[in-house]
């Protein structure tokens, strides 16, 4: 286990997040990258470059960690343009979109009654605890407690889910 933690730390620091080593609780939730996930992948490197151009604090995010964190959402959400909704709505183009407006998705009354446009701050609060942020919504998800993991996940969505 110690060897895995060390390996994961080096994988993360290799893409510029040496200031944010994974906490033990993150380690428990997100298993270390397997060897083929290490950032020699040119597509992942390109995405890490796009992350570096985002506004702070998202420019500090780790693409690989964000991609792994999105595994928690993947069973219910797709992010590709035009892909069919799952249990949850397609999240393509989520930033700048008013809440509850993905075409053809049957939202709860709580979401239909809410009135704001998704930005990083709203998403950060939603992901921290969906039920306290918007009581009565139907997203059956406990939340992402770790602030660094939310930052990485939001940055991942900023580069992967936007048109």
Q: Is the peptide bond before 133 cis (omega within 30 degrees of 0)?
A: no
Provide the minimum distance between the beta carbon of 36 and ligand HEC in the complex, in angstroms, as a whole number.
23
Provide the minimum distance between the beta carbon of 161 and ligand HEC in the complex, in angstroms, as a whole number.
9
Choose between 45 and 119: whose C-beta lies nearer to ligand HEC: 119
Using CB under 6 A, list all residues that contact ligand HEC: 72-73, 75-77, 87-89, 91, 94, 99-100, 102, 107-108, 110-111, 123, 126-127, 137-141, 144
Distance CA 110, CA 75 (A): 22
**Cα atoms in the 13 Å half-sphere on the side-chain side of 95:** 14
Distance CA 29, CA 33 (A): 12
Choose between 15 and 99: whose C-beta lies nearer to ligand HEC: 99
Choose between 62 and 72: whose C-beta lies nearer to ligand HEC: 72
Provide the minimum distance between the beta carbon of 23 and ligand HEC in the complex, in angstroms, as a whole number.
17
List the structure tokens of 82.
Answer: 């035009």
Tell me the C-alpha to C-alpha distance, in Å, between residue 147 and each of 20, 23, 25, 35, 46.
11, 11, 12, 26, 24
Provide the minimum distance between the beta carbon of 27 and ligand HEC in the complex, in angstroms, as a whole number.
18
Provide the minimum distance between the beta carbon of 61 and ligand HEC in the complex, in angstroms, as a whole number.
14
Choose between 77 and 151: whose C-beta lies nearer to ligand HEC: 77
Torsion of the alpha carbons at 78, 72, 153 and 120, rounded to the nearest 10: 70
Choose between 5 and 85: whose C-beta lies nearer to ligand HEC: 85
Distance CA 161, CA 163 (A): 7
């Amino acid at each position: 286990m110690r060897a895995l933690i060390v390996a994961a730390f080096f994988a993360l620091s290799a893409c510029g997040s040496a200031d944010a080593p994974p906490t033990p609780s993150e380690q428990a939730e997100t298993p270390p990258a397997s060897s083929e996930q290490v950032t020699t992948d040119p597509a992942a490197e390109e995405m890490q470059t796009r992350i570096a151009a985002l506004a702070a604090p998202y420019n500090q995010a780790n693409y690989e960690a964000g991609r792994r964190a999105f595994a928690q959402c993947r069973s219910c959400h797709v992010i590709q343009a035009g892909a069919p909704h799952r249990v949850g709505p397609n999240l393509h183009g989520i930033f700048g979109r008013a809440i509850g407006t993905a075409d053809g998705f049957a939202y709860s009354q709580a979401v239909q009654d809410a009135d704001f446009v998704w930005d990083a701050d709203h998403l950060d609060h939603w992901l921290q605890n969906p039920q306290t942020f918007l009581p009565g919504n139907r997203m059956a998800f406990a939340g992402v407690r770790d602030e660094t993991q939310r930052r990485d996940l939001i940055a991942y969505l900023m580069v992967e889910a936007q048109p």
